[in-house]
Amino acid sequence: MKARVFSGIQPTGNPHIGNYLGALKSWAKVQYDYESIYGIVDLHAITLYQNPTELRAKIEELAGVLLAIGIDPKHSALIVQSAVPAHTELSWMLTCVTPVGWLERMTQYKAKSATQETVGDGLLQYPVLMAADILLYQAAIVPVGDDQSQHLELTRDIAQRFNSLYGETFRVPATHLPTVGARVMGLDEPDKKMSKSAKGAGHAVGILEPPDQIRKKIMRATTDSQPAVNIEAPGAGVENLLGIFQAFTEWSNEQMKSHFAGMRYGDLKKQVAEAVISHLEPIQKRYREITAEPGYIAGVLREGAERVSPWANDTVNKVKRAMGIYT
């Protein structure tokens, strides 16, 4: 049996090139080597208030984007988290072995709760649900961006704690981080990771964004006061643009150096924009095809849930037996 991969993405905001280069691209790549399960994690999304109509629309849109970037339903199970109730069931059981102190220490919890007038309990439990997503499938590998490494470490801790309390039940997952492009920064604020929820209009390049708009945004990206590309010591904005170019083109460091050293920022930006656009164009074309076929996405999601449910139920039953819960 092939080892399993699980990863998840929230159906909020607009999926952008940071999501693509940081995680989604590697999802499409590893699906041929592993039994892959990719989740649209709607139950994570509601840990902060979401407009219901918008959330519903975002779930299908994201499914379309994931299929368009190359998630192949013949190789991967694409699921909506809430359609497989075992995620929530396992989450509760893991909650009971997770010290509150571990959760209160999470940096994302601290950052997100600081923006809320009242903090929903779900925000604190967020990483436990994420652990459930992963452990439910006994996943060996979890391809995520580096902002999720603390949550992944916690998942390992929860699995180990459960195993030591109730006996070997969960496989403890390894981490998986791609080497290039794992961290794309905001175009307007290159000291912050590109984010789906950032407010700035020039912050992120959406995967589905029209070429003209992409060009404009990249041409306006923040650089620095140096006259041209200082390849040995670029400022944060220029480094980010070079990183985006390299991640899309997969050029070597030598190629990057000899091509971009001393280039004026206007030219650099034009070349980055064209590299991004030419990569996104076929993805956008596939998206239009996929969404033009009525019922296609719903069918893929239904099949995904049907495929993984027996695996999920196996784990839940194993956990119940281990804990002495009535089955």
Catalytic site residues? 112, 193, 196
* DSSP secondary structure letters along 128-172: HHHHHHHHHTT-SEEE--GGGHHHHHHHHHHHHHHHHHH-S-SPP
Residue with tokens 């952008």: 16
Residues near ligand TRP, by CB under 6 A: 6-10, 41, 44, 130, 133-134, 142, 144, 148, 151
CB of 137 to ligand TRP, least distance (A): 10
What residue type is assigned to position 122 of the chain?
A: G
Nearer to ligand TRP, 150 or 291 (CB): 150
Nearer to ligand TRP, 193 or 257 (CB): 193
Nearer to ligand TRP, 39 or 237 (CB): 39
Residue with tokens 């436990």: 128
Nearer to ligand TRP, 22 or 190 (CB): 22
CB of 152 to ligand TRP, least distance (A): 7
Q: What Cα–Cα distance (Å) separates residue 294 from each residue in 72, 176, 305, 325?
A: 18, 35, 19, 43
CB of 236 to ligand TRP, least distance (A): 23
Q: What Cα–Cα distance (Å) separates residue 192 from each residue in 115, 189, 195, 196, 241?
A: 17, 6, 8, 12, 14
CB of 75 to ligand TRP, least distance (A): 18
